[in-house]
């Protein structure tokens, strides 16, 4: 699906179909342009050194 943080059209269509996204071709084209620009952001964290780091599911602020 992803090569160097890029999303190709075929993978985009496939994910859209799996997600049950029903829309016109022109809308999907608009969405593809939008997602293509954002996509590298989604991959930034995966490129970081996160060894021994657990996810922060809830901010650890709730108790005194």
Partner 1 sequence: MDAQELCYLSVAELSRLIKRREISPVEVVRMHLARVETLEPLLNSFITLLPEKAMEEAKAAEQEIGSGRYRGPLHGVPIGLKDLFYVKGVRNTSGSKIFDHFIPDHDSTVAFKLREAGAILLGKLNLHPLAYGPTGENSDYGNMHNPWDLKCITGGSSGGSASAVASGQCALAMGTDTGGSIRIPGALCGLVGLKPTYGRVSRHGITVLSWSLDHAGLIARTVEDCALGMNTIAGYDPRDPSSAERSVPDFTQSLSEDIRGLRVGVPKEFFEAPVASEVEDAVRRAVELLSKLGATILEISWPMLHESKAISTTVQMAEATAYHSQLIKHQGSQLDPKVRLRLEAGLFISAVDYVQAQRARRLFYQQGCELFNRVDLLAGPTVPIPAFPIGTEKVLVGNAHLGVIEALTQYTRPFNLNGFPAITVPCGFSESGLPIGFQITGKPFDEARVLRAAFAYQQATAWHLRRPPIPK
Quick check: 53 binds partner 1 (CB under 8 A)?
A: yes
Backbone angles phi, psi at 3, to 5 degrees: -125, 120
Q: Please compute Rg for the chain using Cα positions.
A: 17
Quick check: 10 binds partner 1 (CB under 8 A)?
A: no
- C-alpha 62/C-alpha 58 separation (Å) is 9
Quick check: 26 binds partner 1 (CB under 8 A)?
A: no
Quick check: 25 binds partner 1 (CB under 8 A)?
A: no
What residue ranges bind partner 1 (CB under 8 A)?
7, 12, 15-16, 19-21, 23, 30-31, 34-35, 38-46, 48, 50, 53-64
């Amino acid at each position: 699906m992803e090569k160097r943080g890029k999303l190709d059209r075929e993978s985009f269509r496939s994910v859209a179909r799996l997600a049950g996204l029903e829309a016109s071709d022109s809308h999907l084209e608009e969405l593809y342009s939008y997602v293509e620009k954002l996509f590298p952001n989604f991959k930034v964290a995966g490129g970081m050194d996160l060894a021994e780091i657990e996810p922060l599911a809830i901010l650890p602020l709730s108790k005194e």
